[in-house]
Structure 1
Amino acid sequence: MIYQVQGNPVYCYTGGKAFQAELATLVFIHGAQNDHSVWALQSRYLAHHGYNVLAVDLPGHGRSAGNALTSIEDMATWLLALLDVAGVVGEAKASLIGHSMGSLIALETARCAPDRVTKLALLGNAYPMKVADALLTMARDDEAAAIDMVNSWSHCTSTQQSAIPGFNVQGNAQRLMQRMSAINPAQLFYTDFSACNNYQQGEAAAVAINSQQCPTLFVMAKQDRMTPVKASATLRSSILGSKVVEIANCGHSLMTEQPDAVLTALVQFLK
């Protein structure tokens, strides 16, 4: 589905289903140097089991035009504009499901417009989401090397081979990031990482979430070296009643490394 948002075409994967106003809406938000495809299994399943699904390509990513946005705050503003255009308006609300950078966008959206968010599912979250100076510099000066390093850190060695014959999880993730570089050469990885590094509204977001009693789920990977389980501890303790699911044999790219476990956690939470 193509929408026009802030003057640019925006792509959202809907699972092949038309928007139905009577259904609950789920918004999937990808992380740095990624696109909607990282949610392939979860978004398609839920689109065919009673939900409107919008798996977005952020500006400058995937099939969405425009420059990549430079702050989490701007991305949240953009996401609210997308909800308006998509018809999630008035009394309609959305559940936001974000991974890594996407989890910060979901948080900030809940801070800005808590009355528009029903539930939050935050995957591979950390707050603050500080990026090492060496990695920021590498992303700026040698994006190809940064892609290689991040993919090495983001996967658990025990889950490299998919159930699909000939499919390698880490190799597919690397090719996706390389494709993002090819279609948007404007230091996309550095822009995304800088936005994560600079975001400082997590505590205020927790207050907004608590005020609206918004159910919140953290889905974390036990072998995650990018955003370890402990990196979300402060935020988890600040959001009253939040739940956490820890997935074993999995690194930061948990939606593709352990897709069924992630789907199970989301289905149980959304019920």
Structure 2
Amino acid sequence: MQLEINGATAYAYTGGKAFDPSLPTFVFIHGAQNDHSVWALQSRYMAHHGYSVLAVDLPGHGRSSGPALATVEAMADWLLELMKAADVQRAILAGHSMGSLIALEASRRAPEPVIGLALVGSTYPMKVSDALLETSRTDEAAAIDMVNIWSHSSIAQKPSCPGPGFSVMGGARRLMQRMSARNPDGLFHTDFAACNSYAGGEAAAAAVRCPVLFVFGNKDMMTPPRSTKLLTGAIAHGKITIVDAGHQMMAEAPDAVLDALAGFAATIK
């Protein structure tokens, strides 16, 4: 599905079904240097089980034209404009990593249509080490390799992978490389800097009144569960689900993430 937002093309995958704004909508928001495809299983399932789906490509990522936006606040505003253009009335915002901050900020800015928040691989503050931030600026290829290693709990294929011979780490690395090729203007550094500089998370969390699901990976080295106490403490009514995976849990533990999202959505009226 293509929309025009602020004079630029915006793309959202609808899960293989025509978008119907009369249904509650799952809005899936990817993380740094990724696109909508990281939500492949979860978005398609929801589209075929009673929800409309918008799995977005953020500006400068995937099929959405750039430039990439430099702050979480700007990305949240863009997301709300996309939801308005699609006539979304009731939305569950599901964000991974950087996408979780965007979902959180969007819910603060426009709480009315947000009936649920699913924050996957999230933390606040989402600080990036100086070394990684600098590497993302000066040597994006090296930064991709660093993050790819730290985002996975193992090089071994899991039983729920799509098929024999599929490499979770290889697929994630190739996706980030493709994002670099499509947008060579320092995309990774822009995304990382946005996460690192976002200062509104505590206020946004305190404003949340809708149901919230946290999904954390027990082997996550990028946003480890021990770093999440400020965020989970500020949203005390949030439900926490732990899956056996690293940061890229939608690929490493796709069924567990899907079960968590589907179970959460079923509780929202």
Q: TM-score, normalised by structure 2?
A: 0.96
1:243 corresponds to: 239
Secondary structure of 1:114's aligned partner: coil
2:222 corresponds to: 226
Secondary structure of 2:207's aligned partner: helix
Distance 1:55 1:206 in 2: 23
Distance 1:102 1:4 in 2: 20
Supply the AA of the counterpart residue of 1:149: M
Query: Is 1:204 matched up with 2:217?
Result: no
Shift in Å at residue 115 of structure 1? 1.5
Which stretches in structure 2 are left out of the alignment for 5+ residues?
none
Distance 2:222 2:157 in 1: 17
Distance 1:223 1:206 in 2: 24
Secondary structure of 1:63's aligned partner: coil
Distance 1:48 1:247 in 2: 24
1:64 corresponds to: 64
2:85 corresponds to: 85
Q: Deviations over 1:96-144 (max 9, x none)?
A: 0000000000000011111121100000001000000000000000000
Distance 1:114 1:55 in 2: 20
Distance 1:78 1:22 in 2: 22
Shift in Å at residue 20 of structure 1? 1.8
- Paired residues, what number? 264
Point out the more displaced range, 20-29 or 156-165: 156-165
Q: Deviations over 1:145-198 (max 9, x none)?
A: 000000000001164353511110000000000000001000000000000000
Q: TM-score, normalised by structure 1?
A: 0.95
Point out the more displaced range, 188-197 or 112-121: 112-121
Shift in Å at residue 221 of structure 1? 0.2
Point out the more displaced range, 30-39 or 228-237: 228-237
Supply the AA of the counterpart residue of 1:139: S
1:157 corresponds to: 154
Matches within 5 A, 1:53-132: 53-88=53-88, 92-132=89-129
Distance 2:68 2:22 in 1: 33
State whether residues 124 and 202 of structure 2, in contact with CA within 8 Å, keep that contact through their aligned partners in structure 1. Answer: no
Distance 1:163 1:46 in 2: 18
Supply the AA of the counterpart residue of 2:131: A
Secondary structure of 1:55's aligned partner: strand
Which stretches in structure 1 are left out of the alignment for 5+ residues?
none
Tell me which stretches of 4 or more aligned residues in structure 1 moved more than 2 Å: 158-163
Shift in Å at residue 61 of structure 1? 0.1
Point out the more displaced range, 190-199 or 149-158: 149-158
Secondary structure of 2:176's aligned partner: helix
Q: CA RMSD in A?
A: 1.0
Question: Taking every aligned residue pair, what percent have the same amino acid on both sides?
Answer: 61
Secondary structure of 1:87's aligned partner: coil
Distance 1:61 1:226 in 2: 21
State whether residues 95 and 118 of structure 1, in contact with CA within 8 Å, keep that contact through their aligned partners in structure 2. Answer: yes
Supply the AA of the counterpart residue of 1:198: S
